[in-house]
Structure formats: C-alpha cells, structure tokens
Amino acid sequence: NAGVTQTPKFQVLKTGQSMTLQCAQDMNHEYMSWYRQDPGMGLRLIHYSVGAGITDQGEVPNGYNVSRSTTEDFPLRLLSAAPSQTSVYFCASGIWRQETQYFGPGTRLLVL
C-alpha cells in the first residue's frame, strides 16, 4: 500500500512549456484533489474530482487542466507554464467528509 504517490519530485520548466504532474493512489478513494502551496500562504485548491469521469474547478484553476479516467490516477496538466506557477504542488485523496485527506509528498516546480 503506497498511499498517494507523485512524480516528478522536482521539475524545471521554461516559460511556455507544458508538462503533466502525475498523481496516483492505491486506496480506492473516490475523491482526489490538487493543491498548490506558496510561501506565506495556505494551500489553495486547483482542481478536484469526486470520481472517475468527474472533475471540477477549485479556487485557482486558471492555467491547469485535469482529467480522471480511472479511480487511481489524477494527472494535472500545465498548458503553458508561467513563472507565477512556480510552486509546490500536492495531490490528495480520501473519502470525502468522512475522514482525513491523504497527501502525497509533493512536486516542486520552478518555471524560469
């Protein structure tokens, strides 16, 4: 049982490049989400999913796309990277409202 895994751990992009941050969980959780964490600020929700085929926007969705084709995977796509997207990205999964959310180790992204 690996919990929530994220790849890569660290990535450097140039402005305008695109990339996909991977997130997978092996706990059969319906709910998955992506957050970004910036210095001095709390984590902010980017997108979330309540099950395969269902996604919705969070607080800061602009510049990001998601899809949920399986229960296990919830990738986050940066369409055209901007320096403002430099951040640490966390994926989480859980049973909504009933228990805690389990967080992955994070992906540190630097956009130059």
Partner 1 sequence: KQEVTQIPAALSVPEGENLVLNCSFTDSAIYNLQWFRQDPGKGLTSLLLIQSSQREQTSGRLNASLDKSSGRSTLYIAASQPGDSATYLCAVTNDYKLSFGAGTTVTVRA
Give residues with Cβ within 8 angstroms of 79, minimum separation 6: 18, 63, 64, 65
Shortest CB 83 distance to partner 1, Å: 21
Q: Considering the complex, state which of residue 17 and residue 88 has its C-beta at the smaller distance from partner 1.
A: 88
Measured over all CA atoms, what is the biggest interatomic distance in the chain, rounded to whole angstroms? 40
Q: How far apart are CA 33 and CA 20, in angstroms?
A: 15
Within a 10 A sphere around the Cβ of 57, how many other Cβ atoms?
Answer: 13
Least Å distance, CB 80 to partner 1, is 25
User: Residue 20 Cβ, how far from partner 1 at the closest point, in Å?
Assistant: 19
Applying CB under 8 A, which residues contact partner 1? 4, 31, 33, 35, 40-45, 48, 50, 56, 58-59, 90, 92, 96-97, 99-106
